[in-house]
């Protein structure tokens, strides 16, 4: 449960994001954000180190939400099955959907807003450790393993690229995407970059690598990489 400061920062982030989307980043000042939020400019700078970091809580929510969705992934489901379940709109509150739409508008503006892009990229970099932990847990491997960390970095990059592509197409070109289309593209992208077989159902191995057939399984996995 977020504490009061985190909730306050998120509230200011929502207001800053709306101002950036409506006026542009350069045309929005810290005093504008403070006035719209009903707080002092000094409070804004107590919450955030600079203007662009005002939207960091919203950007962080993007990968944190994705991490939560993967965290409840049943071992018997493929990534396509799980994302179809988790991406359904009835799984999200109106507030979450509104936040997602704000982020989509910001992402679409990133090519012209390098300061915002640095915050966006940093938020995904922060998610790599958590992604490594999720992949490691699903495969019964340490999140410190090089291959697990490599997979996590690639997956976060794929997710970010899909988010950027869909957001720009939606805002700039007026394209609409169904949940099924988003799930299909996200799943394809993650499978394309994954060096470990974590996208398919995982069979529990209660006896670990010493179980009969484990060596053959590992050999098959190496051949498919």
**CATH architecture observed for domain 55-224:** Orthogonal Bundle (1.10)
Query: Residue 207 has what pLDDT?
Result: 67
pLDDT band at 126 (very low <50, low <70, confident <90, very high): confident
- For 197-213, write each residue's pLDDT tens digit: 999 998 766 666 544 44
* CA–CA dist 33, 36 (Å, integer): 5
Task: Please provide residue 141's backbone torsions phi and psi, each rounded to the nearest 5 degrees.
Answer: -125, 160
For 66, the token pair is: 């994705």
Rounded CA separation 74/72 (Å) = 6
Domain ranges of the chain: 55-224
Mean pLDDT of the region 79-91: 92
Place of tokens 């190496």: 222
| pLDDT single digits (tens) 8-19 | 999 999 999 999
- Taking the C-alpha atoms of residue 211 and residue 224, their distance in angstroms, rounded to an integer, is 21
- Find the range with the poorest average confidence among 95-109, 132-146, 209-223: 209-223
Distance CA(18)–CA(99), nearest Å, equals: 10
**Strongest mean pLDDT among 35-39, 60-64, 217-221:** 35-39
DSSP element (H, E) containing 81:
helix 79-86
pLDDT digits (tens, 9 = 90+) for 99-119: 999 999 999 999 988 889 999
Residue-level pLDDT at 208? 60
Cα-based angle 133, 63, 195 (whole degrees, multiple of 5): 50
């Amino acid at each position: 449960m977020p504490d009061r400061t985190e909730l306050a920062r998120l509230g200011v982030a929502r207001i800053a994001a709306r101002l950036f989307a409506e006026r542009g980043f350069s045309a929005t000042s810290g005093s504008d954000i403070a006035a719209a939020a009903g707080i002092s400019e000094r409070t804004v700078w107590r919450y955030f180190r600079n203007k662009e970091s005002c939207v960091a809580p919203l950007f962080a929510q993007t990968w944190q939400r994705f991490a939560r969705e993967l965290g409840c992934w049943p071992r018997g489901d493929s990534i396509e099955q799980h994302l179809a379940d988790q991406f359904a709109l009835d799984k999200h509150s109106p507030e979450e959907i509104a936040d997602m739409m704000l982020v989509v508008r910001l992402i679409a503006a990133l090519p012209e807003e390098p300061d915002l892009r640095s915050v966006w990229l940093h938020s995904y970099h922060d998610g790599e450790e958590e992604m490594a932990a999720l992949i490691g847990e699903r495969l019964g491997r340490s999140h410190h393993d090089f291959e697990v960390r490599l997979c996590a970095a690639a997956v976060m990059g794929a997710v970010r690229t899909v988010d950027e592509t869909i957001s720009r197409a939606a805002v700039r070109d007026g394209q609409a995407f169904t949940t099924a289309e988003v799930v299909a593209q996200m799943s394809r992208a993650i499978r394309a970059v994954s060096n470990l077989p974590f996208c398919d159902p995982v069979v529990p191995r209660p006896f670990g690598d010493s179980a009969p057939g484990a060596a053959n399984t590992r050999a098959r996995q190496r051949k498919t990489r």
